[in-house]
A and B are shown apart, each in its own frame.
Chain A
Amino acid sequence: MKAGKIGLYGLLTMAALTALLPLAWILSGSLQTLPELLSNERFLPADPQWGNYVTAWVDGDLGVYLRNSVLYTGTAVLGILVASSLAGYALARLEFAGKGLFTFVILAVMIIPAPAMFLAQYKLLVSLGLSNSPVGYVLILITSGVPMSTLIMRSFFVSQPRELEEAAAIEGAGPLRIFASVILPLARPGLAAVAVIQGLGAWNEYLMALVIFDDNALMPIQRGLTAFTSAETPQQQILLAATAISVVPVIVFYLMAQRHIVQGIGAGAIK
């Protein structure tokens, strides 16, 4: 029994190291000099080169890309929350003709994979004059997040008691009023789960960013990183520093919102 426990922890520790060591390499590699990096001798920098981070930040225009990503992610999450909480509430609480049809469409849409869509989405944005445009990009981000978020919000609303809404209705409040002042404040845990999952997804989105943006000043961070790689061919330690900078916000966010993320992933996949 004792030996079994030790073996179990040994296995888990090995798996943890496999997950962590590549990440540790971003940090270590980004602090080395190029000769150090190319020599076969050591894994850790002899004298940490913090200047690599300054070079990466300046040469890679990371400030611009990060600001764009914050803007796109924030707007997309807000849009997803509005559209999916309204739709989720209607599915959970309102009785009306065509509800089943809408649910079917949402499920059908979730089955259509990105590779079947991105080309035509690009063509559509071109015809709407929204290619190479933040508005076009954010609208695509919102649309791709809505179906799953609607189902999460729906199951959240279903699990809530009806009494407060009924009381508000008896007092004569209209449906929108009830939604805004009674429902939404109570829905905070559901909204949080949707926000963290969709926020991560929007921050990490790459395919549409690659297809939509030509203008470096508009690119989000993921697209900016590959633009940096191909246009400037930076030295490896600088590229690792840029990668590290792009990862910091995500890891901090993950460690802070971990519980919500774990719950949100469960809700998104199972619900």
Chain B
Amino acid sequence: MTTLPVRPRSAKRALRRSLLGWAFLAPAVALIALFTITPFVQAILLSFQSWDGVSPDAPWVGLANYEFIAGDQTFWASMRNVLVFGAVGFVAGNGIALAMAVAVNAITRGRTFFRTVFYLPGVLSVVVVGLLFSSILAPGSGVLNRALELVGLGALQQNWLGDPDVALPAVAAVFVWFHWGFGFLLFLAGLQDVPKELYEAASLDGAGRWARFRSITWPHLAPVTSIVSLLTLLAALQIFGTVQVLTNGGPGYHTMVPTLAIYNEAFVNWRYGSAAAMSVVFGGALVLLSLLQLAFTGRRWHP
């Protein structure tokens, strides 16, 4: 009968260990529960309510908000526009980031300099980027138009932010300028982890530059590529501040994006319920995208 007294003691010890663990987690748990999980649930509830932003009452309205946004042209225009941002960010942003990472990895002198410069735009705020490019892309006296004239390309001058056909690509280009340094840093770190011996062996076998990239670099970069692609795509789809400062969604709805549409619906039109419905639809799409990507790449999170 020597095992009996041990049992309650070990149960007690397990309890104490659990309490200790949760004590360490307490601040994080409290913050996340209160300021992330509660609002997440509230956002969903709010999408079935009507609220003007101030009154204590928010009556239930069933699916009225969803019916309202189903016919809302601004919102659907913003969803279409953001696909352009996503596509441009994904293709151009990741392409430039990868190309520049390969280029920097191939040189020896000046690596730190180029790395520092390439990420420099990435430390600016969305507001600064917006204000800066408002000035550069201004019609008439804007620096870009002036520079084009100076090098004899005056024919390419545009009303960059005011012309409905040009504004969306122009804002997307600003996003790429702002954001490609992020992918670049991650690609560069990934490249530096590829064992050098592999390249030496391949060179001895007579593999050319492109063959080495295809058979060594690209497979080794696969995990980095998948995470960079997702993060760039998510950043492009959530673009907000840059657009608000540059064009505020204009001209018309030509550069409207979902986050700005949600913001305007709530804080300009005072329709929080339909804004919440928009955020559920758009946020849900983003969550789905992340989950799909995680499932698709079979990426393992290691707790």
Contacts and interface: CB of A to CB of B under 8 A. Distances in A.
B27 A250 contact: no
A191 to B, nearest CB: 15
B35 A124 contact: yes
Interface string A3-33: 0010011011001101110110110010000
A39 interface: yes
A91 interface: yes
Contact of B124 (A84, A175, A247, A269): A247
B103 interface: yes
A18 B177 contact: yes
Nearest to A236: B135
B120 interface: yes
Contact of A43 (B100, B103, B143): B143
Contacts of B240: 115, 206-207
Given A115-B283, A121-B35, A266 B186 contact: yes
A122 B113 CA distance: 42
Contacts of A147: 32
B21 interface: yes
A18 B92 CA distance: 15
A200 interface: yes
A94 B173 CA distance: 47
A102 B231 CA distance: 23
Contacts of B85: none
A113 interface: yes
Nearest to B40: A112
Interface in B91-137: 96, 100, 103-104, 106-107, 110, 113-121, 123-128, 131-133, 135-136
A123 B135 contact: no
Nearest to A154: B303
Nearest to B43: A120
Contacts of B88: none
Contacts of B43: 116-117, 119-120
Interface string A75-95: 000000011101101110011
Interface residues of B, number: 97
Contacts of A140: 35
Contacts of B1: none
A246 B286 CA distance: 32
A222 B228 contact: no
Interface residues of A, number: 97
Contacts of A123: 39, 42, 46, 51, 272
A94 to B, nearest CB: 5
A23 B120 contact: yes
A222 B182 CA distance: 21
A270 interface: yes
Contact of B27 (A11, A25, A83, A111): A83
B68 interface: no
Nearest to B37: A109
A11 B102 CA distance: 12
Interface stretch (B163-171, B200-208, B211-219, B258-266): B258-266
Interface stretch (A46-54, A164-172, A254-262): A254-262
Given A12-B114, A83-B31, A96-B17, A116 B282 contact: yes
B28 A25 contact: no
Interface stretch (B2-10, B59-67, B69-77, B273-281): B273-281
Nearest to B183: A269
Contacts of B113: 16
Contacts of A182: none
A50 to B, nearest CB: 19
A150 interface: yes
A243 interface: yes
Interface in B177-230: 177, 181-182, 185-186, 189, 223-224, 227-228
Given A8-B107, A118-B279, 16 more contacts: A22-B132, A40-B141, A87-B28, A114-B238, A116-B43, A116-B286, A117-B40, A118-B263, A123-B42, A123-B46, A143-B32, A147-B32, A210-B263, A222-B125, A225-B127, A247-B124
17 contacts: A12-B100, A12-B107, A25-B143, A86-B26, A87-B27, A115-B282, A116-B284, A120-B42, A123-B51, A143-B34, A143-B36, A204-B124, A211-B263, A250-B124, A266-B189, A269-B186, A270-B224
